[in-house]
Amino acid sequence: MRFHRLASLALFPVLGFAEDLVIDDFEAEGFGGWTVEGEAFGKGPARGTLPNQMEVSGYERRGHASSYHGGDDSTGRLRSRAFRIERRHLNFLIGGGAYPGETCLNLVSPEGEVLRTATGPNTGSGGSEALEWRSWDVSDLDGREARLEVVDRRRGGWGHITVDAIRLSDTPAVVEVERSWGVEGRYLAWPVTRDKTASRRFVMTLDGEPFTYANIALSGDPDFWVFTDLADHRGKTLTVSARLPRELREAWERVALSDDYPGEEMIYQEDRRPLYHFTSRRGWINDPNGLVYHDGTWHLCYQHNPYNIFWDNMTWGHAVSDDLFHWEELPPALVPGPQGVMYSGSGFVVPAKRSALPVGDREGLGLAYTAWGELALEPGQRATQGVAYSADGGRTFSKFDGNPVLEHLVGGNRDPKVFWHEPTARWVMALYHDRDEYGIHVSPDLVSWRQASTYRIPGDSECPDLFELAIDGDPQRTKWVVWGAKGLYRIGDFDGEHFEPSGEPQRHYWGNAYAGQTYDSAPDGRRVHFGWMRGDIAAFGGAPFSLQMTLPMDFSLREVDGEVRLWIEPSPEARGLRRRTKDAGVGLRSDGEKIEGFRGRSFEIEAVIDLEKTTAERCGVTVLGESIGWDRATRTLGGAEGRQAVVDGKLRLRVFSDVGTIEVFANGTYVGSYVDQRGGPLTVIATGGEVHFDELRVHRLGSVWNR
């Protein structure tokens, strides 16, 4: 690995000063010399997490002072004995609410004057009960006496404070650090731990201008390495600054700029890496974003934490493909900035002269996104909508200087789905508002927006989609579909401003799939969809990446028994994965019969079952221990995790198995789930009779990664 460093300005103090003086570590059974007021602190230090509290972490050894005894509505105060300040710094661990004067640790003079004060970090949802190091420079108080107060005067959410490990020291527990590099290599590599509570905020600039920020769990004994992808910023100067605990000084010195990163040689070869589902090289992924097809290229953006396997640092990862399966990962399309982290949104082709974006007189690409929080160092809960554009075919994107184009409206408004509506010659944005309400907003130029109407999808929320489809392929018979994150949809009519539903919400999309979106400008009028397969990161067995996208699938509308419904099929590109096929025979089969001659975790079962000729009460297949069976009594198909969809006539099954997942397509319905692939043969289900297969084939599927 080649490292390139312009300068190293790490200002960690030299060790060798006098030993720290412990004021209190809260390991005794009671509070000793502290005076206890009120009920909030109980009769002694907390031992771990208290009842009804989120998990508390970051404290030392067994105990810490907590005002959560009795919950957030209890109040109280701890007051220490007087002590003499005999070191330059007072270090401590602190967590809980960020309410000055109400949830705080105070250093107080004998006369009662507050000399120093600190609070926890939290005021709203999404916070953590992790304690973090803080330091006060008390050199100007040398030789003076003082007391400490741990104060809880706050009721309601985050109305508590936690404190531990209070020490006088000649060195601060937290120090300001800064380093700069000339960007000659592609990656700034970071050694990290999977422990989210170890995360610290790092702020980055390029040539002195704000670039991005991230919470990174830096570690001197890393579980794996992650990276900041700087491929689009060569020749610039990157500066990174942070406030770090002093014990991370060696880990900080290991952060380095290079043309590669440790572990890169194993990318896409990990044991738990799915063989044909999209996963990122490193880090967490969730919602698909920015789905747009342009000049033969499918663009897939996605919610991404590039720096660890858990949710954080919402960034738009970016990958491109010419076939929906073989992906090349590019640097992120959007990174956190002054207006906040990058929540979900959409991608679209921008026709020439149809926007106020600086894309010139040629066709361009655009992104619409939610920025969550106003300031990089003090993120809040304010959600606004922004747009970005690309003038190089989607290789890079720039945020519009006039963002936000839509200020906060209501609740957690977010996830803009934007497209050009040719009949009205203007832009349309479907935007999640609050609860089950969505809004339709219109604009002549992508910058000036007006709310035109609202609609509802009872039982759903977030991640709207809005698109038109032909019924049974007839372009003269079309309907519009509104879609929510949970896979509920409504069919109706849309005039460019108002969506009028023609029925109640329906579902033909089950299991772990969530927050799906469809492509803008897909070829041949196709409506191609990706969903996110949410689940437990444990399914990936400690790999340096977590979670994945569904298979790509094509949506259409079909009239079935006089009712128009959404029809879901695997995208035809999936057939290109097939490497070998075994015809398992047709006709009647008995319960438990093996489908012989096939091994592995990556395959597709293709079957057609004639339900009229089948005598079994339940029929289908068992795949690696997972039962996928149709029940005669309920006329439903139970897929993974017991999800159901009504089917009749002939049951047409396509079952896809990959490392850790099974996805089932059955008569226009979809079920996708993570599974514990315990192994075992492929077998027939025929409970209480026999099952009649018109077709039964098994296809071995190849890997899309280089091996």
Mean pLDDT of all residues in 42-67: 95
Q: What are phi and psi of 267, to 5 degrees?
A: -60, 135
Give the end-to-end CA distance of the chain in Å, rounded to a whole number: 22
Q: Which parts of 486-550 are beta strand (E)? A: 488-494, 499-501, 506-507, 509-511, 513-518, 527-533, 545-546, 548-549
Q: 92-96, 120-124, 494-498, 661-665: lowest mean pLDDT where?
A: 120-124
Distance of CA 566 to the CA centre of its chain: 27
Checking if the pLDDT of 385 tops 80, the result is: yes
Write out pLDDT tens, residues 510-562.
889 999 999 999 999 999 999 999 998 888 888 999 999 999 999 999 998 88
- Look at 130 and 197; give whichever has higher pLDDT: 130
pLDDT at 376 over 80: no
Parallel/antiparallel/unpaired status of strands 209-216 and 237-245: unpaired
Residue 625 buriedness (CB in 10 A; 0-12 / 13-18 / 19+): middle
pLDDT of residue 706: 63
Q: What is d(CA 678, CA 664) in angstroms, rounded to the nearest whole number?
A: 18
Question: CA angle 335-339-341, nearest 5°?
Answer: 40
What integer best gives the mean pLDDT of the chain?
92
- Rounded CA-CA distance 547/279 in Å is 7
- Identify the pLDDT of residue 247: 87
Q: Is pLDDT of 2 > 60?
A: no
Other beta carbons within 10 Å of 7: 11
- pLDDT confidence of residue 198: 87
β-sheet bridge partners, residue 282: none
- Residue 269, class by beta-carbon neighbours within 10 Å (0-12 exposed, 13-18 middle, 19+ buried)? exposed
* pLDDT score recorded for residue 635: 77
Please report the pLDDT score of residue 627 as a whole number.
87
Q: What is the average pLDDT across 160-165?
A: 98
Look up 72 and say whether it is catalytic.
Answer: no
Residue from 119, 139, 199, 136 nearest 172 by CA: 136
467 and 481 Cβ atoms separated by less than 8 Å: yes
Is there a contact between 236 and 183 (Cβ–Cβ < 8 Å)? yes
Fold (topology level) of 21-169: Jelly Rolls (2.60.120)
Q: Which amino acid is at 27?
A: E
Structure token digits, residue 203: 């702020």
Out of 127-131, 189-193, 259-263, which region has the weakest mean confidence (pLDDT)? 127-131
Please enumerate in sequence order all residues whose Cβ is within 8 A of that of 127, keeping only pairs 6 or more positions apart, or say none: 121, 158
Tell me the C-alpha distance between 92 and 78, whole Å: 15
Name residue, tokens 């926890």: 120
**Contact yes or no for 252/208 (Cβ under 8 A):** no
DSSP secondary structure code for residue 250 in this structure: H
User: What is the pLDDT, as a whole number, of residue 645?
Assistant: 53
Torsion, Cα 71 73 77 78, to 10 degrees, reads: 0
Whether the per-residue pLDDT at 427 is higher than 70: the answer is yes
Residue 639 has pLDDT above 80, yes or no: no
Instruction: Tell me the residue ranges of DSSP E strands in 42-88.
Output: 56-57, 65-66, 76-79, 83-84
Query: Coil, helix or strand for 253?
Result: helix
Q: What percent of the chain has pLDDT over 90?
A: 80
- 627 half-sphere exposure, CB direction, 13 A CA radius: 14
More confident residue, 35 or 16: 35
Helix, strand, coil % (nearest 5) of the chain?
5, 50, 45
Q: What 3-state class would DSSP assign to 392?
A: coil
- What the block records as the tokens of 26 is 């809260």
CATH number for the domain running over 573-701:
2.60.120.560
Cis amide leading into 404 (omega within 30): yes
| Among 274-278, 284-288, 540-544, 546-550, the least confident range | 540-544
pLDDT at 17 over 70: no
600 is written with which tokens?
A: 């592995």
DSSP string, 459-496: T--SS-EEEEEEETTEEEEEEEEEE-TTSEEEEEEE-S
Look at domain 267-570 and name its CATH class.
mainly beta
| Three-class DSSP labels, 683-707 | EEEEECCEEEEEEEEEEEECCCCCC
Catalytic residue among 24, 287, 312, 658: 287
Looking at the predicted structure, is the pLDDT value of residue 5 above 50? no
Per-residue tokens: 510? 């089950």
**What is the residue extent of each domain of the chain?**
7-13+174-258, 21-169, 267-570, 573-701
Instruction: Annotate 218-239 with DSSP letters as a single string.
Output: B-SS-SEEEEEE-GGGTTSEEE
Residues paired with 190 in a beta bridge: 226
Question: Do 21-169 and 573-701 share a fold?
Answer: yes
Closest CA to 390 of 369, 413, 420, 365: 365
Partnered with residue 689 across adjacent β-strands are: none
